[in-house]
Amino acid sequence: MILKFDKLHGLGNDFVFINRKLLPLNFHFTKEQYSFFSNRKFGIGCDLIVIYEYKDRNIWASFINRDGSSAEICGNACRCLGLLLKKITNLNNFILYTDISSYEIIINHDNISVNMGIPTLSYKNIGINNPLVNLNNILSFLCLTNKEKEEIIDGYVIGLGNPHLILFLKQNLDINFMENLGRKLENCSIFSNRINVSFAKIINSKEIDLTVFERGVGITMACGSGACATAFAAFKLGKVASELTIHQKGGSLNIIINNDSSITQQGQAKYVFYGEIELCQ
């Protein structure tokens, strides 16, 4: 079977996009095939696979991690979907539908904005299975070592389609330290559906440095939903303004906390290439 795909990236967070209508009826990929797509040595190479279809201005999409697990939403992939559909249809605005919500995507030249909706602060909805956990004691339930605790000022948990743990740091940390800590916290027993971990260093009231460990993926060049969740947490804690810039290794995103508490992300996306690959079944 020859599989056609498009590859795009948002700030270095890269994706393989597959049009569902080009697949055989009732076809389902295996976890091994998703792993093959994402493998940078033997496959195409990506952080996430997106299966989509569209009609006019409406897009329906599913997001799959490298390990075959599902992601509820991906902010960078939303912008990339907007750019891809702009390329296909020449339209400038779309509504993206997922299993959990809908998202408005607007393309204005090189700038793509996505309203990511209003986050939830309900720990039950986020997937925290311990009724004793709350915003004031979250750090004490994370099984942190004394060395790890020394690096963290504050912690916050937000649901933005997918769950996010935001750790505010005293200083920027070594990438291996964050990789190891992110993997440990991703699988912490209090999170029933695992969790994305954001490592944030506040520069000033309008800028944050951010590194995100994504569930089922690891450290990525950038994370759109992680940037939105981090901005919202910092705003709620009174650390930043309602409009700010999140800097990540792959580039920067502008984040706006709207008056209704919804979050808008603004940034670029890049088309990389179209390809075909033989898929062994």
Mean pLDDT of 135-145: 87
pLDDT at 211: 98
Do 63 and 156 belong to one domain? Answer: no
- Which class for 61: exposed (0-12), middle (13-18), buried (19 or more C-beta within 10 A)? buried
Q: Is 74 one of the annotated active-site residues of the chain?
A: yes
Mean pLDDT of 178-186: 95
pLDDT at 125: 87
> Which of 23-27, 218-222, 269-273 is the least confident region?
23-27
pLDDT at 145: 92
Helix 224-236 to helix 75-89 angle, to the nearest 10 degrees?
Answer: 130
The yes-or-no verdict on residue 15 having pLDDT over 90 is yes
> Can you give the residue range of the structural domain that contains 39?
2-114+268-278
Do 81 and 127 belong to one domain? Answer: no
- Which class for 257: exposed (0-12), middle (13-18), buried (19 or more C-beta within 10 A)? buried
Do 73 and 143 belong to one domain? Answer: no
Q: Which of these is catalytic: 46, 80, 223, 228?
A: 223
Do 233 and 273 belong to one domain? Answer: no
CA distance 270 to 157: 30
Mean pLDDT of the chain: 94
Task: Tell me the percentage of the chain whose pLDDT exceeds 70.
Answer: 100
Dump pLDDT digits (tens) for 45-87. Answer: 999 999 999 999 999 999 999 889 999 999 999 999 999 999 9
pLDDT at 1: 86
What separation in angstroms does the CA of 2 have from each of 24, 39, 52, 274, 275? 11, 18, 17, 13, 10
Do 175 and 104 belong to one domain? Answer: no
Do 92 and 138 belong to one domain? Answer: no
CA distance 252 to 227: 9
Dump pLDDT digits (tens) for 193-228. Answer: 999 999 999 999 999 999 999 998 999 999 999 999
pLDDT at 267: 97
How many domains does the chain contain in total? 2
Do 28 and 133 belong to one domain? Answer: no
- Give the pair of three-digit tokens for residue 263: 């979050």
CA distance 71 to 64: 6
Do 87 and 175 belong to one domain? Answer: no
Task: Tell me the percentage of the chain whose pLDDT exceeds 90.
Answer: 86
Q: Is 80 one of the annotated active-site residues of the chain?
A: no
What separation in angstroms does the CA of 149 have from each of 23, 140, 250, 265? 48, 9, 27, 30
CA distance 99 to 136: 31
Model confidence at 151, pLDDT cuts 50, 70, 90, reads very high
Model confidence at 175, pLDDT cuts 50, 70, 90, reads very high
Do 137 and 257 belong to one domain? Answer: yes
pLDDT at 281: 61
Do 178 and 92 belong to one domain? Answer: no
Do 98 and 170 belong to one domain? Answer: no
Do 158 and 245 belong to one domain? Answer: yes
pTM for the model stands at: 0.94
Q: Which of these is catalytic: 46, 74, 80, 228?
A: 74
- Give the pair of three-digit tokens for residue 275: 């390809």
Terminal Cα distance for the chain, rounded: 8
User: 111-115: long-range contacts at Cβ-Cβ below 8 A with a sequence spacing of 24 or more?
Assistant: 111/266, 111/267, 111/268, 112/79, 112/82, 112/83, 112/266, 112/267, 112/268, 112/269, 113/264, 113/265, 113/266, 114/75, 114/78, 114/79, 114/82, 114/224, 114/264, 114/265, 115/258, 115/262, 115/263, 115/264
User: Residue written as tokens 């800028």?
Assistant: 207
SS3 at position 174: coil
What is the CATH classification number for the domain harbouring 75? Answer: 3.10.310.10
